[in-house]
A and B are shown apart, each in its own frame.
Chain A
Amino acid sequence: MSEKVLMKGNEALAEAAIRAGCRLFFGYPITPQTEVSAYMSKRMPQVDGLFLQAESEVAAINMVYGAAGAGARVMTSSSSPGISLKQEGISYIAASDLPCLVVNIVRGGPGLGGIQPAQSDYFQAVKGGGHGDYHLVVLAPASVQELVDLTAEAFDIGDMYRVPVMIMGDGMLGQMMEPITFGEPKKRNLPEKTWATTGTAMQRKKNVVNSLYLTPEELEELNNERAKRYAAIEENEVKVELQQVEDADLVLVAYGVTARIAKTAAAIAREKGMKVGLIRPITLWPFPKKEIANAAKSAKCFLTVEMSQGQMVEDVRLAVNGAKPVHFYGRNGGIVPTPDEIVKEMEKLLGGANE
């Protein structure tokens, strides 16, 4: 195991990407993830990689598109308004079956919004964002170490299924420092990139990267083939953390750093004699539907906590499928909920449940 170092989330993620073999970074600075660009601009030349500050987010994502088409491990990083600008490119990349990493260190929205932490881009990340039937695999780390581990994992998942992968953090995760180690990530058996446009050397048929199909039958067939890969991802790639769910009357559902605040709230609630558990989705897509449906058999109710006006709560409700009430508590605009606020909310709900 390598030495423990204290690093900011943004810098740790950049270093983890380089260690995962990423040698191309295209981006445009925006708070609160500018340190990713800054770190990349310093480190990429040291590893014979390329850092390029594009003229805009739209340009950056299309550079990613090109590099991904050539089979390179490539990434871009931004924050909410910048990610909105990238949506067209992301849809094209998904349609062309190309792997890449897109990082969103979310800030308050809509519009230019603010620069403080938020989780209000959940819908955009998991329900499309760009047009057409496609998915991003969306990973939501809760600590700087998990951010490091998931960065390596993100590239592998992308290569394995030929899909773009998003890491969704928030301003807190990007800015905070925690001790980390860069361990050896577990290796997957990845398929060769036989589709990459690397030049034929007159030895093979040319590869084409394209997202335009004017024959409906052809487009439907391609979309259906991709849907099979999405189904395999849903089958194999769900990641979730469960804590004290078995005996819980109330199950909190939260992701990212918010889940850690919920964890503190759950500990306070347990001390007060409330039976509280926590489900933390680590993959937001694929969503841990089974685990939540399972918890609905024993729990009396759910409380989803988010830094938004209530987005993931819709997926929790779909998973619970009416079996139990699903409540919501959130702060938004860059306000971070406190453990005490969450405890108060739970007291209200469990008070009612006991009557």
Chain B
Amino acid sequence: MTQIILAGFGGQGILFAGKQLAYAGMLTGKEVSWLPSYGPEMRGGTANCHVILSDQEIAAPMIQSPDVLIALNQPSLEKFEKAVRAGGKIFYDSSMIDRVPENDEAHIFAVPATTIAASLGANNLANIVMLGKVLKESEVLTMDEIRMAMEKTISARKQNLLELNMKCLQAGFDYQA
């Protein structure tokens, strides 16, 4: 079972990135759940979602100790960094967060995702850059599986954005500190 928390400002595409993980998990035959925060949090505060991928039936859909945390802003990092389990992984957007996560027992990955996305002409795809790095550093899903998910979840009207998303995913995957 892999438990992933994604968190950031409302508008950073947290729920969308989480949906790609859940959808790709489903396409590969896993049990999945996607639980979003909702309400006033979504407007400017921290949006988060809990994604679980499992080979077995998923009991609690909310996560106490994530295996993976993806944090796109500082309040989100502060909220979840200590919950990440020992041996878990924290991915944080170092172009938005100017301090190192506080968790000695987790593996830390700093990715300047917002800067990378902007350099590719995709100001709002830091979420996808981050996802690329997660795919690289964990065996949760492959690039092809996320691509399949995007083909299914991006509406027909916006399919022209698929390649830009894939470019950002690849850039995150290839990024080395």
Interface residues of A (CB under 8 A from B): 4, 6, 31-32, 115-116, 171-172, 175-179, 257, 260-261, 263-264, 267, 336, 338-340
Q: B31: which A residues are within 8 A, CB to CB?
A: 179
Identify which of residues 59-100 in chain B touch chain A, using a CB-to-CB cut-off of 8 Å: 59-62, 64
- Give the complex CA separation of A176 and B60 in angstroms: 12
A176 touches B59 (CB 8 A): no
Q: How far is the CB of A305 from chain B (nearest CB, A)?
A: 12
Q: B175: which A residues are within 8 A, CB to CB?
A: none
A175 touches B26 (CB 8 A): no
In this complex, what residue of B is CB-closest to A107?
Answer: B39
Residue of A171, A260, A340 with highest tally of chain B CB at under 10 A? A260
* B166 part of interface (Cβ distance < 8 Å): no
Choice from A6, A32, A172, A260 contacting B59 with Cβ under 8 Å: A260
Interface residues of B (CB under 8 A from A): 19, 22-23, 26, 31-36, 38-39, 58-62, 64
Q: How many A-B residue pairs have CB under 8 A?
A: 57
If A32-B39, A339-B64 are given as contacts, then 20 extra A-B residue pairs at C-beta distance below 8 Å, sorted by A number, are A6-B19, A6-B23, A6-B26, A6-B32, A115-B39, A171-B38, A172-B35, A172-B61, A175-B38, A176-B34, A176-B61, A177-B22, A178-B32, A178-B34, A179-B31, A257-B61, A260-B59, A261-B59, A261-B62, A338-B62
Q: How far is the CB of A146 from chain B (nearest CB, A)?
A: 12
Name 27 A/B residue pairs within 8 A (Cβ), A-sorted: A4-B26, A6-B32, A6-B34, A31-B38, A31-B39, A32-B39, A115-B38, A172-B35, A172-B62, A175-B35, A175-B38, A176-B34, A176-B36, A177-B22, A178-B33, A178-B58, A179-B26, A179-B31, A260-B58, A260-B59, A260-B61, A261-B60, A263-B60, A264-B59, A336-B62, A338-B62, A339-B60
- Give the complex CA separation of A176 and B18 in angstroms: 12
- Give the complex CA separation of A176 and B33 in angstroms: 7
Q: How far is the CB of B5 from chain A (nearest CB, A)?
A: 14
Q: B60: which A residues are within 8 A, CB to CB?
A: 260-261, 263-264, 339
Q: How far is the CB of A145 from chain B (nearest CB, A)?
A: 10
In this complex, what residue of B is CB-closest to A144?
Answer: B33
Q: A178: which B residues are within 8 A, CB to CB?
A: 32-34, 58, 61
A32 touches B64 (CB 8 A): no
Q: A32: which B residues are within 8 A, CB to CB?
A: 38-39
Choice from B26, B33, B34, B64 contacting A340 with Cβ under 8 Å: B64
B64 touches A177 (CB 8 A): no
7 tightest Cβ-Cβ pairs between the two chains A and B: A263-B59, A264-B60, A177-B34, A264-B59, A261-B60, A176-B35, A179-B26
In this complex, what residue of B is CB-closest to A260?
Answer: B59
Q: How far is the CB of B27 from chain A (nearest CB, A)?
A: 8
- Give the complex CA separation of A336 and B62 in angstroms: 9
Q: B34: which A residues are within 8 A, CB to CB?
A: 6, 176-178
Q: How far is the CB of A265 from chain B (nearest CB, A)?
A: 8
Q: A115: which B residues are within 8 A, CB to CB?
A: 38-39
Q: A172: which B residues are within 8 A, CB to CB?
A: 35, 61-62
In this complex, what residue of A is CB-closest to B32?
Answer: A179
Q: B61: which A residues are within 8 A, CB to CB?
A: 172, 176, 178, 257, 260
